[in-house]
Amino acid sequence: MTQTASSPANAQQRYEVRRADLPLSCPQPSMALWNSHPRVYLPIEADGGTCQCPYCGATYVLVD
Give residue-wise pLDDT tens across range 15-52.
999 999 999 999 988 887 777 899 999 999 998 999 99
Residue type at position 1: M
Residue 57 has pLDDT above 90, yes or no: yes
User: Nearest Cα to 39, choosing from 6, 5, 10, 2?
Assistant: 10
Average of pLDDT values for 9-16?
Answer: 80
- pTM higher than 0.85 for the full model? no
Report the distance separating Cα 47 and Cα 34, nearest Å: 28
Contacts by 34-43 with C-beta closer than 8 Å and gap 24+? 35/8, 35/9, 36/9, 36/10, 37/10
For the chain, what's the residue count?
64
CB-based burial label for 64 (10 Å; 0-12, 13-18, 19+): exposed
